[in-house]
Structure 1
Amino acid sequence: MFNLEFIVNNIKTIKEKYNYELKKASNAAPKSFWETYSSFSNTKGGYIVLGVEEGKIENKILGVNNPEKIVSDLWNQLSNKNKVSTNSLTYDDIIIVEIEKDIPIIIVNVKEEPWNKKPVYINNDIRRTYIRTGDGDRLMKDDELTIIARNSHPNVDSLILDNFSIEDLDFVSITSFKEKVTVRYPNNGYENLNPEEFLQEIGIMRKNRSNDKINATRGALLFFGKYNSIREVYPSFHMDYFNRRGNNERWIYRVAADEPASVQMNIYNFYNIVSEKLNSLSYNEFKLDKDNIRKGNNQFSEAIREAFVNTLAHADYDLGSPSIKIEVFDGWMRFINPGTMLISIDEFVQGGYSKPRNEIIMKLFRLLGASERQGFGGPQIFKFAKSNDYRIPEIYTNLEFTELKLWHIDLVESYPELTNEERKVFECIVKASGPIAKREIQETLNLSEYKVRK
């Protein structure tokens, strides 16, 4: 059951936004109901309230006539594939409520659909697919529909590439990877296999039934490919690492996929080069504790590795922009990859469930030992922050990209622009076990009311 009490108690002041829509509906649900139903289903879900008109100060409670008939009509149309492509509402999701005497309204709780049921469209026309932006519904663009289709059927990196063979892959990368995996799995006989046999054995090169040749999968090309071969399939393929620490206007160190390098800049080599830089950072960031042990170093390294692997393994490489980007700043890092998360942020934080966009790439990282337990990277990242009293990581995701910010300083330190007095006030608020009164802050810090209020 959704939070009905909150909606009812605040019905006169709730405003239309990304998850609330108010609609007049005297004798039937308006046609725009279905546009909002589609947009909520394709975005983050929301509540449609029938019988209320939004007002500048207070909403107008207009009510609906014969609410039972309106609800019955809604269920009939929800069951009609010619009206809406998917229905996942239960009877608890449509509620009739009498706000004022003899003035009933209808509240509909529309949940976001899972990716395998998107896009949700109306009138048996996929071009009538809506998405929620701000407080309104809009038709999806063609490129957004293409993204939705890819998200609905992930693991495209397992598809075989016609005419791409072992010649399109980097021998040095494969040899290095094979040596590491052989050490981890000494009883599998990998040392007796040549590069192509090894890649077939681990399932990333396969026989192409259409031409009887051994061809590379998309994942194999991305992970081990020669840069120019990768760009043939993924013209916008790009990866960047920036060290932006200090007061430098630009950056003090950069690794870029399109710059001349001594190695082929595929995912494997980019991961190795950047991991070395990040590991060096994690070693130098922490001071020795009383036992001469670098406190938090292992947790920091694991959190960084999980964030880095997630960025590379969950990226939508078919998207032209934005590209993979790892940035290091004083006290924090930013990981950006193209494409949305295929699980919710709550599921990522809680752990136990994973839905990789690129199963081949994730499998290769697992073979390396870089991603041991699927579905537990998120909890590990957040555990690192909480156990060290650091600012909690922030995640933002939409159809086009996903961004993770990871701090290794506390919340107060993460705002360097604060004055000393502002820092003290902020620190006092953060460290309080609960709400703290302004007067208590004044007395604790020996500051005037003006300083605290400011």
Structure 2
Amino acid sequence: MKIVEQFDISAIDTESLKGFRNHHKSYRPEHVFNNLPDDEYLERIDAAGFGEDGKLHPTTAGLLMFGEEYHIVREFPEYFLDYREMLDQTIRWTDRLQSSSGDWSGNVFDFFFRVNSKIAKDIKKPFKLEGITRVDDTPVHKAVREALVNCLVNTDYFLPCGVVIKKEDDKLVIENPGSIRTGKKQMLRGGISDPRNKTLMKMFNMIGIGERAGSGIPDIYQVWENEGWPMPVVEESYNPDRTRLSLEFKKQANKTSEQNKRTK
């Protein structure tokens, strides 16, 4: 965990931190960290640490998660997050969210929730009740969240081209700089978790998001098989290293077994 001594805690976006703390308190209302002041809270979750000057500074993970974009790019010059919604073929995109736009924080935390909200609103929600409360969180919603988190915690933020997420009518493509640390075969098999940015994963886990047991990608495959959709496609390219996950939201004409699809 690297401490970024060129910044003090003012590099942390207060609204992003407030949002994270609210999610944490909702998920773990009795957690001992909930009553801590912000500076102590940041230190406890490894988002900040004391430098050689004896002062509190953000860590690289804290800067990525909660920092303002113009601060983040001073530590990670290639940092870029890009969401493109392409639902009308007559125009280039129907919606776009970029970390560099300057009208929002541009950090990983806010990007996750903004993009997840944009994708989730178009995922069908069957009418289901628990008691008198409607349940809108389906296995597909959870799988998409897992895919987004998997992308963000495995990105190599020093590599070019950035995170790019493309949403079409019946397809979602999630791309990030960096290779698959466990290897593609092991990732599809599951059982081993080795995120590139472990502290980011820890933070997402604190608010109930992300899977540390190494079963995240296999679970996504299972959800897609249960829906009768084509199996997700994972691709790697190199120089620069890049990983792409393609998810289709349409029924297959001829459904084959998951095992056959994974070995193609």
TM-score (norm 1): 0.52
Counterparts of residues 17-166 of structure 1 (less than 5 Å): 158-166=1-9
Unaligned runs of 5+ in 1: 1-157, 412-426, 434-454
Q: 1:324 to 1:431 in 2, by over 3 A?
A: closer
Structure 1 position 409 matched with structure 2 position 243? no
Q: 1:248 to 1:310 in 2, by over 3 A?
A: farther
CA–CA separation in structure 2 for the residues paired with 1:249 and 1:190 = 47
1:406 partner amino acid: L
Partner of 1:403: helix, strand, or coil?
strand
**Contact 1:282/1:297 (CA < 8 Å) preserved in 2?**
no
Cα shift at 1:256: 1.0
Q: 1:312 to 1:431 in 2, by over 3 A?
A: closer
Partner of 1:251: helix, strand, or coil?
coil
Instruction: Report which structure shows greater RCO (CA 8 Å, sep ≥6).
Output: 2
Q: 1:230 to 1:185 in 2, by over 3 A?
A: same
2:155 partner amino acid: A
Partner of 1:190: helix, strand, or coil?
helix
Cα shift at 1:432: 8.5
Aligned match of 2:39? 196
Aligned match of 1:240? 82
Deviation per CA, 1:93-134, whole angstroms, max 9, x where unpaired?
xxxxxxxxxxxxxxxxxxxxxxxxxxxxxxxxxxxxxxxxxx
Cα shift at 1:288: 6.5
Cα shift at 1:310: 0.8
Which of 167, 177, 180 is the aligned partner of 2:20?
177
1:165 partner amino acid: D
Which of 353, 365, 388 is the aligned partner of 2:227?
388
Alignment length (residue pairs):
250
Q: CA RMSD in A?
A: 2.3
Q: 1:318 to 1:190 in 2, by over 3 A?
A: same
Structure 1 position 322 matched with structure 2 position 161? yes
Unaligned runs of 5+ in 2: 129-133, 258-264
Q: 1:184 to 1:288 in 2, by over 3 A?
A: closer
- What fraction of aligned residue pairs are identical, expressed as a percent? 27
Aligned match of 2:11? 168
2:146 partner amino acid: E
**Contact 1:339/1:398 (CA < 8 Å) preserved in 2?**
no
Partner of 2:220: helix, strand, or coil?
helix
Aligned match of 1:278? 119
Q: Which runs of 4+ in 1 moved over 6 A?
A: none
Partner of 2:192: helix, strand, or coil?
coil
Cα shift at 1:431: 5.5
Which of 138, 157, 161 is the aligned partner of 1:298?
138
Deviation per CA, 1:373-423, whole angstroms, max 9, x where unpaired?
431111111001111221111111134110000111134xxxxxxxxxxxx
Q: 1:398 to 1:176 in 2, by over 3 A?
A: same
Cα shift at 1:354: 1.1
2:141 partner amino acid: S
Cα shift at 1:239: 0.6
Deviation per CA, 1:265-311, whole angstroms, max 9, x where unpaired?
1111111111111110213xx6779xxxx9x9712111111111111
CA–CA separation in structure 1 for the residues paired with 2:57 and 2:87 = 43
**Contact 2:13/2:66 (CA < 8 Å) preserved in 1?**
yes
Partner of 1:281: helix, strand, or coil?
coil
2:249 partner amino acid: H
Partner of 1:247: helix, strand, or coil?
coil
Partner of 1:163: helix, strand, or coil?
coil
